[in-house]
Amino acid sequence: MQKPTIAVLFGSASPEYDVSLKSAYSIISHMAQYDPLLIGISKLGEWFHFTGSPERILDDTWHNPCYCKRAIISPCRQTGGVLVFEPSGARTIKLDAALPIIHGKNGEDGTIQGLLELAGIPVIGSGSGASALCMDKAKAHAIVEAAGFRVARSFVASALTPCETAHFLAEQTGYPLFVKPVNAGSSFGISKVFEQAQLLRAIDHALAFDSAAIIEETIEGFEVGAAILEAGDQILVGAIDEIELAGDFFDYTEKYTLKTSAIHVPARIPEHKAQEIKAAARTIYQVLGCRGFARIDLFLSPNGALFFNEVNTIPGFTQQSRYPNMLKAAGMTFEQIVETMIAGALKESLPRVDGGVPVCA
């Protein structure tokens, strides 16, 4: 029986290019039941069909003419796949589904998901709407707060925001503050601001990564995470994890080196609190319209209150990443995680009869 063909997209013109390569390699190495078709996107945004060894993705030597042909995902629904440009002309490779493993901008923000939806190719993971919404910290916070959850007090500033207005709103919010790009991931462009003299420089730093910055109050306590994975009609949640910080915040370096920080799986919290976090994560996942899988991050304050932080619709998938390790702590292997993710999207893509029951075409 022919294996389903699954496009795995990696790289892209994103600050998180390097992490994407590592995540993609981990997933490709655990796709024995599928035929992976590898689509690499260079830092310049060039698309290629990569046919070399996956190890070349891991060490970033994949972008080589010996192993790459220019390719695009056709937006034409009749094509249903990838156009690979050969010397003799373009050939089509049909796809059963596509898995974008691109973190941050130009991948996790709904752009690639929108292309796949236009092409009629099932997306493994959240669709364009939820992806864009979760990437926008201000809008995600507003919706989650409207659903009854606590969020940090905040305001949004852009290059057009008068300095006096930013200073006034910051005083109302209260120092210390965190300044972040509204649409970005993995701690790029984030600063912790302790006094007014640091504020405008921090906003400028965030605006180097996005057109708007969100300025948030500091929530006392520590960050906890929940790994969500849909399995049929169930929304599974892995073991809750906890970030133990030595510095001011979990920046990009700490996320991928843990030089001075530590991640505890399971979190060092009472079982009833872990269950409360799982329930909150499930609800937030559904409120924001996520699908397939995601990591929900919250803050747990000293008095036990939960505050929503953000959703990663394409979390890290390296062997050291939080998402797979939370599910491993709940008893799943990496292979089972990947299989569940892909199988769910393939099942959803089957034609349906009245009552929503998938049937074979």
pLDDT, tens digit, 9 for 90 and up, residues 238-296: 999 999 987 555 555 555 556 657 999 999 999 999 999 999 999 999 999 999 999 99
Peptide bond into 176 cis (omega under 30): yes
Task: Looking at the structure, give the CATH architecture of the domain made up of residues 5-124.
Answer: 3-Layer(aba) Sandwich (3.40)
β-pairing verdict for 154-158 and 293-300: unpaired
Taking residues 148-174, what's their average pLDDT? 97
**Long-range contacts from 187-194, C-beta under 8 angstroms, 24+ separation:** 187/249, 187/250, 187/251, 187/252, 187/254, 187/255, 188/15, 188/16, 188/104, 188/252, 189/213, 190/249, 190/251, 192/218, 192/248, 192/249
119 has a pLDDT exceeding 50:
yes
Multiple choice CATH, 221-330, 3.40.50.2300, 3.30.470.20, 3.30.70.660, 3.40.47.10: 3.30.470.20
What is the CATH superfamily name and number for domain 153-217?
Answer: ATP-grasp fold, A domain (3.30.1490.20)
Tokens of 258: 């843990």
Within 8 A by CB and 6+ apart from 14, the residues are: 20, 102, 103, 104, 105, 106, 107
Question: What's the pLDDT at 350?
Answer: 47
Question: What's the pLDDT at 255?
Answer: 56
- In this structure, which amino acid lies at residue 208? A
Quick one: which of 254, 241, 246 has its CA closest to 330?
A: 241
Question: What's the pLDDT at 246?
Answer: 74
Taking residues 67-90, what's their average pLDDT? 95
Taking residues 141-157, what's their average pLDDT? 98
Tokens of 356: 């929503």
313 — phi, psi (to 5°)? -75, -20
Q: Greater confidence, 319 or 35?
A: 35
- Average model confidence (pLDDT) for the chain? 92
CA–CA separation, 340 and 227 (whole Å): 13
CA distances for 216 relative to 152, 169, 193, angstroms: 6, 10, 10
Task: Work out the percent of the chain whose per-residue pLDDT is above 90.
Answer: 86
CATH 3.30.1490.20-classified regions of the chain: 153-217
CATH 3.30.470.20-classified regions of the chain: 221-330
Measured CA angle at 278 (ends 216, 27), to 5 deg: 90
124 has a pLDDT exceeding 90:
yes
The strand pairing partners of 299, in sequence order, are 223, 307
pLDDT, tens digit, 9 for 90 and up, residues 347-357: 875 443 333 33
Torsion sign (Cα): 158, 161, 163, 169:
negative
316 has a pLDDT exceeding 80:
yes
Question: What's the pLDDT at 276?
Answer: 98
> What residue spans of 288-333 are helical by DSSP H?
322-329
237 has a pLDDT exceeding 90:
yes
Question: What's the pLDDT at 354?
Answer: 34
Q: pLDDT tier at 123 (50, 70, 90 boundaries)?
A: very high
On whether the pTM is more than 0.85, the answer is: yes
pLDDT, tens digit, 9 for 90 and up, residues 171-195: 999 999 999 999 986 668 999 999 9
DSSP-assigned letter for residue 76: -
Tokens of 329: 């702590």
Q: How many CB atoms lie within 10 A of CB 267?
A: 23
Taking residues 7-12, what's their average pLDDT? 96
Question: What's the pLDDT at 106?
Answer: 87
